[in-house]
Amino acid sequence: MAITVGELAERLGLEYRGDPGTAVDHAASLVDADPGSLTFLANPRYRQHLAATRAGLVVLDERYAAECPTNALLSPTPHLSFARALEMVMPRHRPDDGVHGTAVVEEGVRIGSRVHVGPHCHIAAGCVLEDDVEIGPGCVLMSGAVIRQRARLVARVTIGHRTEIGEDSLIQPGAVVGAEGFGFAHHEGQWIKVPQVGRVVVGARVEIGANTTIDCGAIGDTVIADGVKIDNLVQIGHNCHVGENTIIIACSGVAGSTEIGRHCAIGGMTGVAGHIRISDGVQVTGMTQLTKNLTEPGVYSSGTGVEPNRRWRRNAARFHQLDEMAKRLRALEVRLAELKGPDDSGD
């Protein structure tokens, strides 16, 4: 939808430089932009591309305005303002209200106003779909699930029994929220299933990525607090609590009963052990082996980093001798101290 520079500036309450009548109708990067493109500059690393951009409009901080060869929208938070502008320029197509004829809705389901239920959905008994909810094609909602206002399930999402999805939350395709947790009693060499009777309670403004899985509580609930963003292919075990505005990057796994604080950032492919507590404000880099409580905010890491295989083979072999090496090092220090003698102590 073509919108002019002037209209975007007015609707976003921002100042502009240049021609208010120029219209943009799509988005592109600074480099790929053409005269109909909306773009932005947030990361200073891309500043080098500003002078040559052909964009119709660049959202940027005022301090870069002088370098901008085209129309500019001035914002102290250019990435955020770009997001807002883009929602106007390329608004999402909202599907029609109503329940598709191929969807199966069982008895006792409560459906609010302006709700969309797509083809081939199954909404089991006792579910609640509040106002403005969108359930895309192929979704399965088990009995008693509650989807709050404006929440959206994109497609092929599974929602477990009595699971609650908070308002304005967004669930990507293939996600399973409320699978039975992995709970067994070990008995005479066999694993006996323990019924998993808790729920998953997902807060407001949460995003859950494609093919991510979140298990219901064993007893009691698994809780994903307001504003949490979970990427694709993440596993959250039963009875975990993830705190407000925490972000978990793709391929990570959190074992059962762990509490992750607020405003944390968990890097991709991180493994978080069960029954531990991670303080508010913790950041971990990708592939961290997070096996113990972290009680202080800060940045944490693990792993060895990449190196050529030939060298790695030798170094990894030495890792297995590391404790022995440390003891030999200590022994050398002791022997050398003895050798130098007491009159050498000023060294």
Is residue 112 near a copy of itself by the rule CB under 8 A?
no
Among positions 238-267, residues that touch a copy of itself (CB under 8 A) are 245, 247, 249-251, 253, 255, 263
Q: Of 51, 46, 53, which is closest to residue 24 (Cα–Cα)?
A: 53
Cα 234 from chain centre:
9
Count of residues engaged in binding a copy of itself, rule: CB under 8 A: 128
Tokens coding 319: 């890792």
Catalytic: 120?
no
Is residue 166 near a copy of itself by the rule CB under 8 A?
no
Q: How far is the CB of 234 from a copy of itself (least distance, A)?
A: 8
Q: What is the dihedral of CA 132, 133, 137, 138, to 10 degrees?
A: -160
Is residue 307 near a copy of itself by the rule CB under 8 A?
yes
Among positions 146-165, residues that touch a copy of itself (CB under 8 A) are 154-156, 158
Among 19, 28, 65, 114, binds a copy of itself (CB under 8 A): 28
Separation between Cα atoms, residue 91 and residue 76, nearest integer Å: 23
Q: How far is the CB of 186 from a copy of itself (least distance, A)?
A: 8
Identify the active-site residue in 79, 116, 186, 238: 238
Q: Of 111, 89, 97, which is closest to residue 27 (Cα–Cα)?
A: 89
Q: Is residue 163 classed as helix, strand or coil in its secondary structure? A: coil
Contacts of 206 (CB under 8 A, 6+ apart): 165, 166, 169, 170, 224, 225, 226, 227, 228, 229, 230
Residue type, 290: L
Is residue 134 near a copy of itself by the rule CB under 8 A?
no
Q: How far is the CB of 75 from a copy of itself (least distance, A)?
A: 11
Among positions 46-75, residues that touch a copy of itself (CB under 8 A) are none
Is residue 286 near a copy of itself by the rule CB under 8 A?
yes
Of 73 and 154, CB closest to a copy of itself: 154
Q: Of 138, 169, 136, 164, which is closest to residue 151 (Cα–Cα)?
A: 169
Among 13, 44, 63, 93, binds a copy of itself (CB under 8 A): 93
HSE-CB of 104 using CA atoms within 13 angstroms: 9
Is residue 279 near a copy of itself by the rule CB under 8 A?
no
The residues annotated as belonging to the active site are 238
